[in-house]
A and B are shown apart, each in its own frame.
Chain A
């Protein structure tokens, strides 16, 4: 096939942006050559040529955004001529492609119906809803992805919107009619923001969250870090962070209490054999959660290196899809932002997320009933109650506290 089409580069990808063409019209191309850089919802990826040939035409210019399957370029092999109508078809398609690119910002000005986006049959998150339900949802500005269907085969029918619309319309108000004196900015959603919106809305509306909070004494943790870093500095190796130590403890505790490292699977609970630890990393205009695979088998050093590498590449959008998919539990650490304590939203289909706060000096009453200055760290646990009960969550946090307050145990 002489056409190069927008490939599906990640599970959640529905469209992609051509960031840069590495080949120009007229260039000779061999299999495996990088033709272009494509930005998906999560990362920038390289588009390789599947055939040898010459790049004859480029239909989507740099910065252009098109859906999966749309034509990007015409690549002809030696002796191969353009399809009979190629001179015409690509010409019109070129217009279409260009139009599509222009239409996206244009649409966001006038139209505001993410409902139609999620209802599109091209989307991965296809919503089963009756035509009438879709129309009512669009009119009421209700997000169908957050509604449970009661029709045949779980289809959303009009009746489901009677009760549901009142409940969630507030959460998904689309075009707030707020007047401002100056011109307000309208920021079209990036692929990543769309995914964040969809997944977190689904998480908060479909997963019965509950929250547990503890505060641990981080004195020993700080001491251990000081000792190890003193040594590491001498040996020229990279330093460890408090976060590295916290991650190690989180992993070790999950091995002890495996129920938190699990998924609610409808008719069963799946307890995973490995701890694939997702680590929330803030990136420009969003966040990603790269995964440290089989973290229970990794040393403190390996964990530290993995986090550093994943975070760096996440910020430059260089992660491959498999590097941010398939985690079994998540840690979000806002300590470095000065946040003392917070609650996080579960990252589906996981059953638990931990929210780590900053280490803060506080007056505490010690074992001798004296008020002393201590280094305290708050930890919040959010769990899916279908999988984890309060007692299990408490058991997990107790184990986590034991490790963090006596970090020497982690070495065993």
Chain B
């Protein structure tokens, strides 16, 4: 069997790349060893958003019922149903991808792929049979898995990664989360909302260290209010896993030993290289690619998490489309430089473009506009006054260098600013755009005005 393209991996890079190639009239196969949709749909973005929705609702009813005029005699939740809803959502989505493969006539092959050489992939299916597939082009999109701490391996019970954290049979009484990136922060919010005692440990001076410092600080403040113990600038010096819990010695503002039932290690990921032919790697062991997403072997391409950061589903899909269009059309593939980042704790955090820190480091001239949701009518009406919109405008032309939103629907609002950056809009175009009233997104308009002394409500 000979294809125009074989994609290894069915996640947001793999399935999107496969479908785009099929749309271009190519004969395509996609090999996946687990389930179509990859980490994103099955063990990442989607099931965690389901869990977080449960957490938000429960937290609202438990802590703010009276404010909205509700009263419950006996507010309860069923942990297993919380987890089951998340799994059902993931299953439905994965089935949706399998349907899309069919619709686009992509051969979906279940099994473990090995890259024999350029043009040849062998696939071992679960029944032990091996078949050889040939293709003019191969796209590697095998992704990443959670990275363990040195000398503190995952054991599936007390030391876990994000994958186990979303299907715990029993809610832990206490959890220590090491690493306060998006994954660590989202699980901290989730477990805390349901009453687990959460300690969040981060080595860097702030949680969500890639976000604008003001965004990080806003979430730290909110977390403290919610009862999460946040230890920033804190290093793990010793970690021990016992039968019924963990003991973690840390050094930060003070040295102490923390104890909990479970430890979630969310310090990062490691690449999941496909077996077979070895390819040139980056210093962090991701697959090295050219501007056209080609690996060190001609005819073999790679996209998504496997080629290194930013490790985001939407970036992975973009890269795969660029790679595939580069293979089969005259399109000159583009590399990712501007992309949104979203964290779905409450308040949510969303950003696109440069942080104020980065703008300073790059020596750029800029102006900052900021508007707090506490001054927004809609935010007051829906009872979500935490957070702000912060925009960074280049000088002298007023182009948008970066946008940072903390608040209830931050992740739904960042799209406008991504489009603005792509179109190279300046403050004037945002200013000239009528934003619907009453919406939270009016804050984007007002933050723009604030930078140029034109804001009305502040």
CB distance from A135 to the nearest CB of B (A): 4
Q: How many residues of B contact A (CB 8 A)?
A: 11
The proximity string for A residues 147-158 relative to B, scoring 1 for CB distances below 8 Å and 0 otherwise, is 000011000011
Name the A residues within 8 Å of B425 (CB-CB).
130-132
In the assembled complex, B422 has its CB within 8 A of some CB on chain A: yes
Q: Is the CB of A133 within 8 A of B424?
A: yes
In the assembled complex, A136 has its CB within 8 A of some CB on chain B: yes
Known: A131-B428, A131-B429. A136 touches B422 (CB 8 A): no
In the assembled complex, A178 has its CB within 8 A of some CB on chain B: no
CB distance from A160 to the nearest CB of B (A): 11
CB distance from A38 to the nearest CB of B (A): 33
Known: A131-B429, A136-B397, A139-B397. A158 touches B424 (CB 8 A): yes
In the assembled complex, B399 has its CB within 8 A of some CB on chain A: yes
Q: Is the CB of A131 within 8 A of B422?
A: no
Q: Is the CB of A135 within 8 A of B397?
A: yes
Q: Tell me which of A135, A151, A152 has the highest count of chain B C-beta atoms within 10 A of its own C-beta.
A: A135
Within 8 A of B (CB), among A115-157: 130-133, 135-136, 139, 151-152, 157
CB distance from A350 to the nearest CB of B (A): 28
Which bracket fits the contact residues of A?
A: 10 to 19
Within 8 A of B (CB), among A294-339: none
Q: Is the CB of A130 within 8 A of B424?
A: yes
Q: Is the CB of B424 within 8 A of A157?
A: yes
CB distance from A402 to the nearest CB of B (A): 44
Name the B residues within 8 Å of A130 (CB-CB).
423-425
How many Å lie between the Cα of A132 and that of B398 in the bound state? Answer: 8
How many Å lie between the Cα of A190 and that of B399 in the bound state? Answer: 35
Name the A residues within 8 Å of B397 (CB-CB).
132, 135-136, 139
In the assembled complex, B232 has its CB within 8 A of some CB on chain A: no
Within 8 A of B (CB), among A270-303: none
Partner of B423, one of A131, A135, A136, A139: A131
CB distance from B289 to the nearest CB of A (A): 22
Q: Is the CB of B422 within 8 A of A132?
A: no
Name the B residues within 8 Å of A131 (CB-CB).
399, 423-426, 428-429
How many Å lie between the Cα of A135 and that of B398 in the bound state? Answer: 9
The proximity string for B residues 407-440 relative to A, scoring 1 for CB distances below 8 Å and 0 otherwise, is 0000000000000001111101100000000000
How many Å lie between the Cα of A131 and that of B399 in the bound state? Answer: 8
Q: Tell me which of A130, A136, A139, A157 has the highest count of chain B C-beta atoms within 10 A of its own C-beta.
A: A130
CB distance from B334 to the nearest CB of A (A): 10
Q: Which residue of A lies closest to B426 (CB)?
A: A131
Q: Which residue of A lies closest to B422 (CB)?
A: A152
How many Å lie between the Cα of A157 and that of B334 in the bound state? Answer: 15
CB distance from A93 to the nearest CB of B (A): 24
How many Å lie between the Cα of A412 and that of B180 in the bound state? Answer: 91
Name the B residues within 8 Å of A132 (CB-CB).
397, 399, 424-426
CB distance from B453 to the nearest CB of A (A): 19
Name the A residues within 8 Å of B426 (CB-CB).
131-132, 135
Q: Which residue of B lies closest to A135 (CB)?
A: B397
How many Å lie between the Cα of A135 and that of B426 in the bound state? Answer: 9
CB distance from B392 to the nearest CB of A (A): 14
Q: Tell me which of B396, B399, B423, B424 has the highest count of chain A C-beta atoms within 10 A of its own C-beta.
A: B424
How many Å lie between the Cα of A139 and that of B426 in the bound state? Answer: 15
Name the A residues within 8 Å of B422 (CB-CB).
152
CB distance from A379 to the nearest CB of B (A): 41
Q: List 6 A-B contacts (CB under 8 A).
A: A131-B425, A132-B399, A132-B424, A132-B426, A139-B397, A158-B424
Having A131-B425, A139-B397, A151-B424, one finds 5 other A-B pairs with CB under 8 Å, namely A130-B423, A131-B399, A132-B424, A132-B425, A157-B424
